Every structure is written in C-alpha cells, then in structure tokens.
C-alpha cells in the first residue's frame, strides 16, 4: 500500500457527492481551480493509519461523453491524472440511472468503488439493495453510505485500500455484435504502446463508436490515427446497418440493458410508500399558476429575514467600531497625528465599515444555502424557465443568476453547466447585473441613511431591478450579437432533503470567510491607499482664508457661540484640505463626467475606487465623510454623515445605488469572465455595462428632478 492514494469522487449531480466529500475530509480540504480553466476544484486529505487518502471532488456529471465545461474537466482529470481509485457516488434512491455513469468509469480500466449514498432514504422508501449481489454482478465493491451522517466512511476507506492493492477491474461486455467492433478498434489502438500507456484503449474504442469528438482530438497523438478513424467509420456503419439505429444509441441501450439486469437481480422494493413527501409538496410548489408567485414570495421572505435579523448585530458592530475609534483618538498622542489618522480615519473607518455588514452577509448566505440544500433551487429553475426562455435564456441560467445574489465569481463559474456556448456566454454577460453580496453594503448604507423607514423595501427594489435589467439585456443581446434560440431545458428534480447543520455551516463559513478575507486584504490595502490620497498633500489655510470663512459664517449665523464657531472653522479646514488632496483633485477632475447623474466629487471618487471591489465604495465613503470631524468629539456614524450632506438627496442616493448595481463588477469577477468566455467578450462586457450604467443613471436622475 502506498503512503498517498489519489481518490477521485465522481458521480451525478444531486447524489450527495460533496456532502460525502466533506464527511471524508472534515475541515482538511481547500478549494482551487483546475489548470487552464476556471472551474472550482475541491481537494482534501483523510489520514487512515499510515496512509494519506488524497480526495478530489470532481464536478457532477451524467456521463463521460463531455459537452459542458465541467464534464470536460471531470473526464480530462480521470484521463490525464489517472487516480488510483474512483469512488462513484450513487443516489441509492435512483440506482438504475446512477449506474450508467458507473459502467463508463469501469471502461477506463481504473479501480472503481460504488458508494451507495443516501442509503437511509432508499430504505425509508422501501428500496432494499443486496450489496453482495450487486458487487458480484458488476464486479466492483459497493458500500452503503450516508454522507450527511458519516455512515459507511470506515468501510469505504477499507474498500479503497483493497481496490488500490489489487488493481482489479471487471470488463463489462455489451453483446457479441457490439463487442466484435470494440475489439477490432481496441486492437488497432493497442498497436502503439506509448498511446495505450496514457489512454485506455477499450474506453477510446467505445467512445469512437459513440462518435465522441473529444476522443478524436486525443486520437491525433496516435501514429495510426487516420487508419483508426476509417476503421471506426466502418464499425459505426456496420452497427447502424445491423441494428437499424444510431451506434451511440446502441451503446447506450447495451449499457442500460446490463444495468437493468443487475438492478433486477440485486434490488427489491419491499413496500411502496402510500405517498411521497416530495410529490405532495411539488403539487403546490410546481403548480403552473402558483410556482412563480411562490418563488417571488420565497425571495421576498429571504430579504425580509435578512434585514429583520441582521439589523441589530450590524448596529452593534457599527457602535463597536465607533467606540474603538473614540478610544484610539484619546489614546494615541497628538504628536503621532498621522498614525492616529491612518488607524482611525483610514483603517477603522474603511475596513470597519465593511465588516459591519458581515451579519447581513452571513444571514443571506445561510438562507440561500438552506434553499439549495432543501432542493428548492431546482424548482426555482423550473418555475422561471418559461420566463427566461422568452428573454432568450436557458432555464438553467437561473442558477448562476441566483448565485449572483451571493458573489459574481461562483455565479459566473456556475454557467459552465450550460452545454450550449451561446447560452453560456449570454448567462455570463448578464450575471454581474445581479446584486451581489459586495453591493449589499452600499445599498444598505444609503438606504438606511436616506430611506430609514423603508430601507428593506428599497434594497429589495434594487435586487428586483437587477433581475429585470438582466432579462432585458438578455433579450437585447439575443436580438443583436447573440442571435439564436436557447436549447431545451431538461433537468432532474432532486427529492426534498432535510439540510444538515454541519453542511449549512460549512457553506456559510466558506462564503463569509471569503468576504472577511477580502476585507483584510483588498479592502485594507484600498483603505490605506484612499487614506493616503485623501490626506496628502497637506494644505494649510492662510489667515485671510480663515478670516473670510469666519466672516461669512457669522453673517449667516450671528448668534453662534464660540464653540460653534470653532467647530465650523475646523470642519471648514478639513473640507478644504480634503478638496486639495490627491483624492479631491481627482474627484473634481472627473466630476463633470458624473454631473449628469447628480454626483458630487466624493461620489465620483467612490465610484472609481469601487472598480477594485464594490465594498471599497463603503470604505471610500467612510474615509471621505470622516475627514474634518473633531478629534475630541464622539464619532458620528457614516449614515448620519451622509444624511446631513447637503450635496446628497434621496434621489441622488438611489441613482448612486443603481449606478453601483450596473457598472462592471470587481476585478476578480472580470478575471473570471475573461477565463470563461475570453478577452473579446470581457471588453464587450466592460463597455456595455459602463454605457448602460451612465445612460440609465442619467435618465433616472434627470427624470427624477423633473418629477
């Protein structure tokens, strides 16, 4: 037995594969990307005695004939990386369908173990699987598991050890007629020892009969490639003439015939439940008249709960950071004025403002993860399919769009499940219009400052605007640069399942920690940079400038006390110093570009800094609106500072939120767009969203002024 065993976890979507992976690896796993493509890869280690099992969680697939990006990634990993063992995670409640992929894994010649996952649900439905008979029929070991409860993990590891030691695989025969053609192609492929060292000959022979284009690309490495292609064409013609059907259909039927026989021998349905919970719920949830209203109600409930529960801890964090600022203002001596300003006005005002929104992010991610684990997300796709189709989108586009409420990066990555390149490009282009978690702090901050009585409603309106805009833009692109019809939407509805607390917490932890890490890296660096450009070069007012201000102030406030005059003088000094800083000069330089939207130089500056990450907008505003406050005065909240700025109004605040919603997403999301659909579409996305943001923002502001 080796010290390290590479194990690939593969199987159909909704088979509980990732849950089993989490149970096997615990907290000892990390997330990365496969080389060359932006597809999420989960890897983890489980120590079992003296052996390290290195698990890789592959994207969910229905077969090894690859169409979508994730299917290509899964197959290429199995072909190129050659894991020691494949664990095929099967849904025990739908065994016959799950075994179709299992047979294809066996064709690779790699030891395969069948993990009969969710076996408790199968038994609850009266499905009894004879593991011994099934193992004997297919020639591979099967282990009953329940990933959500950690059942069967030790047995699974024991099976891995045995499979890796023996390296035995059983060849599944698909009938004499088909086998004769497979064998002739396999013999030709095996004529080059170097080729078959890297690629399994039987697997390639079968894929040639299935007319798999990806295999033809790999076949170019074979010295007899043209001869093999010609032989494959002859074999296909012979099979199709003999059976009267397409060869790929014949291969599929032979697999299902073998599977059906195995299931008949090894599976017994002891009792049929009088009713299934899933079917009864779906009679309401999937009703053609109720499905869409229920979907809207679910989302409305999510946002209401997010604000109702998250508002108090958010206020507590704001109070905490305000208290820390006051303490540090008093603790750091005046001799270290720049150090104190950097910490209080830069780091705490910038990073603290972003971290105050963590409670809202946690609650939103928790509720969305809850819907996903319950099985509702698939129903949402069906509920919105007809509407999405009318706008030129594929029904499955709803997954990236809903993921966009959390973060644009995984949302864009989720578009890889779409098989049609046109559908995938269109989905990637419109997904950034969804209001992600990074935009949420901006919306909440301004909504609370200018619409305090209706803040949740205003934020929900912005989320709805993002959805409507994405649909309208999809329709526009469908009629212009991305002409064509979306492919039909075919998808399995998983049964409703009770989420596990551990699973939910892990989803929330992954997403929240990414948000916090961004606050500690990108946001922190941005906050320090913004502090520098708002502080330097330092500007000292002349005596004439101060006297002129005091004279003008007294003429407007003749009854002002000495303390009020002093406070006004300090605020004036801070404001002038800020306007003379690098940030002030930049803001005034670009303000004419933003004037049609009603933005002053501060909002213009914040809009530019937000290109790095939308949370930086909050950091920028936090720094800009705290400059000029008295050092010995108790810090006022950013909401109050914004609300009392005469340059801002509810209309301007709404336009700013709308503009933030539309303009191009953060650098990380743009990099993902480039990786998924290329430079050409990235440039198109940048120009399209910028023009849309400026045009729509200008229209709303100018019409709002008239009203």
Q: What is the pLDDT of residues 643-672, one digit of tens each?
A: 888 889 999 999 999 999 999 998 888 988
List of residues 6+ apart from 614 with CB closer than 8 A: 436, 438, 439, 441, 442, 660, 665, 666
Query: Which residue's structure tokens are 């009203």?
Result: 707
Cα 603 to its chain centre, rounded Å, is 29
Q: What is the mean pLDDT of residues 333-350?
A: 86
- Decide if pLDDT at 675 tops 90: no
Q: Provide the pLDDT for residue 626.
A: 66
Instruction: List the structure tokens of 436.
Output: 């992600």
- Decide if pLDDT at 459 tops 60: yes
Q: What is the DSSP letter of 286?
A: T
Q: Provide the pLDDT for residue 401.
A: 85
Q: Label the pairing between strands 40-48 and 85-91.
A: unpaired
Q: Provide the pLDDT for residue 635.
A: 39
pLDDT tens for residues 126-141? 889 999 999 999 999 9
List of residues 6+ apart from 472 with CB closer than 8 A: 391
- Decide if pLDDT at 78 tops 50: yes
Q: Provide the pLDDT for residue 610.
A: 87
- Decide if pLDDT at 37 tops 50: no
Least confident of 197-201, 391-395, 451-455, 599-603: 391-395
List phi, psi (to 5°) of 315. -65, -35
Least confident of 6-20, 623-637, 664-678: 623-637
Angle, CA of 11, 17 and 20, to the nearest 5°: 140
Cα 438 to its chain centre, rounded Å, is 13
Q: Provide the pLDDT for residue 36.
A: 44
Least confident of 29-33, 91-95, 208-212: 29-33
Specify which of 57-66, 350-359, 466-475, 497-506 reaches the highest per-range mean pLDDT: 466-475
Q: What is the DSSP letter of 492?
A: -
Whether the CA torsion 76, 235, 139, 99 is positive or negative: it is: positive
Band (632; pLDDT cuts 50, 70, 90): very low
List of residues 6+ apart from 542 with CB closer than 8 A: none
What is the C-alpha separation between 598 and 319, in angstroms, rounded?
A: 31
Q: Provide the pLDDT for residue 393.
A: 83
List of residues 6+ apart from 44 with CB closer than 8 A: 21, 24, 25, 26, 28, 29, 30, 54, 55, 57
What is the C-alpha separation between 209 and 40, in angstroms, rounded?
A: 31
pLDDT tens for residues 225-283? 999 999 999 999 999 999 998 998 899 889 988 898 889 899 987 655 544 677 788 88
In what helix (H) or strand (E) does residue 45 lie, and over which residues does it extend?
Answer: strand 40-48
What is the C-alpha separation between 586 and 685, in angstroms, rounded?
A: 25
Q: What is the mean pLDDT of residues 499-516?
A: 79
Q: What is the DSSP letter of 31?
A: E
Q: Provide the pLDDT for residue 631.
A: 38
CATH number for the region 4-166 comes to 3.40.50.300
pLDDT tens for residues 197-226? 888 999 999 999 999 888 888 888 899 999
Q: What is the mean pLDDT of residues 140-164?
A: 89
Q: Provide the pLDDT for residue 485.
A: 65
Q: What is the mean pLDDT of residues 365-378?
A: 82
Band (420; pLDDT cuts 50, 70, 90): confident
Q: Provide the pLDDT for residue 274.
A: 44
Of 614 and 69, the structure prediction assigns the larger pLDDT to 614
- Decide if pLDDT at 585 tops 70: yes
Band (703; pLDDT cuts 50, 70, 90): very high
Helices assigned H by DSSP within 557-628: 562-580, 582-594, 601-609, 615-624
Q: Provide the pLDDT for residue 9.
A: 94
Q: Provide the pLDDT for residue 630.
A: 39
């Amino acid at each position: 037995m080796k010290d390290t065993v590479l194990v690939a976890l593969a199987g159909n979507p909704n088979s509980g594969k990732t849950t089993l992976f989490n149970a096997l690896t615990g907290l000892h796993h990390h997330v990365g990307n496969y080389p060359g493509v932006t597809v999420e890869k989960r890897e983890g280690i489980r120590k079992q005695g003296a052996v390290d099992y290195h698990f890789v969680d592959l994207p969910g697939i229905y077969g090894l004939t690859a169409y979508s990006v994730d299917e290509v990634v899964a197959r290429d990993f199995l072909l190129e990386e050659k894991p020691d063992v494949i664990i095929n995670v099967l849904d025990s409640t739908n065994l016959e369908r799950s075994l179709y992929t299992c047979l294809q894994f066996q064709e690779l010649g790699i030891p395969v173990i069948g993990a009969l996952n969710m076996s408790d649900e199968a038994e609850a439905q009266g499905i009894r699987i004879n593991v011994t008979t099934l193992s004997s029929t297919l020639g591979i070991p099967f282990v009953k598991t329940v990933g959500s409860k950690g059942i069967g993990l030790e047995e699974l590891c024991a099976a891995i050890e045995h499979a890796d030691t023996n390296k035995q695989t059983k060849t599944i025969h698909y009938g004499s007629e088909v086998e004769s053609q497979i064998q002739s192609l396999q013999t030709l492929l095996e004529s080059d020892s170097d080729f078959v060292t890297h690629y399994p000959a039987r697997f390639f022979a079968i894929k040639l009969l299935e007319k798999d284009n990806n295999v033809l690309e790999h076949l170019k490495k074979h010295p007899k490639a043209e001869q093999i292609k010609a032989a494959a064409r002859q074999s296909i013609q012979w099979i199709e003439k003999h059976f009267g059907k397409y060869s790929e259909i014949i291969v599929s039927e032979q697999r299902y015939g073998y599977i059906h026989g195995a299931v008949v021998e090894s599976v017994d349905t002891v009792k049929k439940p009088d009713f299934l919970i899933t079917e009864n719920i779906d009679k309401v949830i999937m009703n053609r008249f109720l499905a869409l209203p229920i979907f809207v109600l679910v989302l409305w409930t999510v946002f209401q709960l997010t604000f109702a529960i998250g508002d108090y801890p958010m206020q507590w964090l704001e109070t905490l950071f305000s208290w820390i600022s006051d303490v540090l203002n008093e603790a750091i001596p005046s001799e270290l004025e720049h150090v104190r300003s950097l910490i209080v006005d830069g780091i705490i005002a910038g990073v603290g403002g972003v971290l105050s929104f963590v409670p809202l992010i946690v609650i939103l991610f928790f509720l969305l993860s809850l819907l996903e684990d319950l099985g509702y997300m698939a129903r949402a796709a069906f509920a919105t399919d007809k509407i999405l189709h009318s706008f030129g989108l594929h029904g499955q586009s709803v997954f990236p769009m809903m993921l966009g409420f959390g973060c644009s990066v995984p949302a864009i990555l989720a578009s890889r499940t779409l098989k049609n390149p046109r559908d995938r490009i269109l989905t990637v282009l419109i997904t950034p219009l969804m209001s992600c978690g990074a935009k949420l702090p901006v919306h909440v901050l301004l909504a609370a400052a200018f619409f305090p009585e209706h803040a949740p409603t205003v934020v929900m309106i912005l989320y709805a605007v993002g959805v409507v805009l994405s649909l309208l833009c999809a329709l526009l692109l469908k009629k212009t640069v991305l002409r064509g019809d979306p492919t039909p939407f075919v998808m399995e509805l998983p049964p409703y399942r009770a989420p596990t607390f551990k699973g939910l917490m892990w989803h929330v932890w992954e997403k929240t920690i990414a948000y916090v890490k961004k606050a500690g890296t990108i946001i922190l660096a941005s906050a320090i940079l913004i502090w520098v450009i708002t502080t330097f070069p330092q500007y000292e007012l002349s005596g004439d400038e101060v006297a002129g201000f005091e004279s003008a102030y007294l003429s407007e406030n003749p009854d002002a006390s000495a303390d009020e005059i002093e406070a006004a003088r300090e605020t004036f000094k801070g404001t002038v110093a800020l306007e003379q800083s690098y940030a002030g000069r930049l803001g005034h330089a670009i303000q004419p570009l933003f004037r049609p939207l009603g933005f002053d130089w501060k909002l213009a500056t914040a809009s530019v800094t937000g290109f790095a990450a939308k949370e930086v907008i909050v950091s920028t505003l936090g720094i800009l609106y705290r400059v000029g406050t008295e050092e010995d005065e108790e810090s006022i909240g950013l909401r109050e500072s914004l609300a009392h700025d005469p340059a801002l109004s509810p209309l301007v605040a709404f336009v700013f939120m709308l503009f933030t919603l539309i303009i191009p997403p953060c650098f990380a999301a743009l990099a993902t767009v480039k990786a998924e659909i290329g430079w050409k579409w990235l440039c198109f996305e940048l120009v399209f969203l910028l023009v849309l943001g400026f045009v729509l923002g200008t229209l709303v502001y100018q019409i709002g002024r008239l009203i």
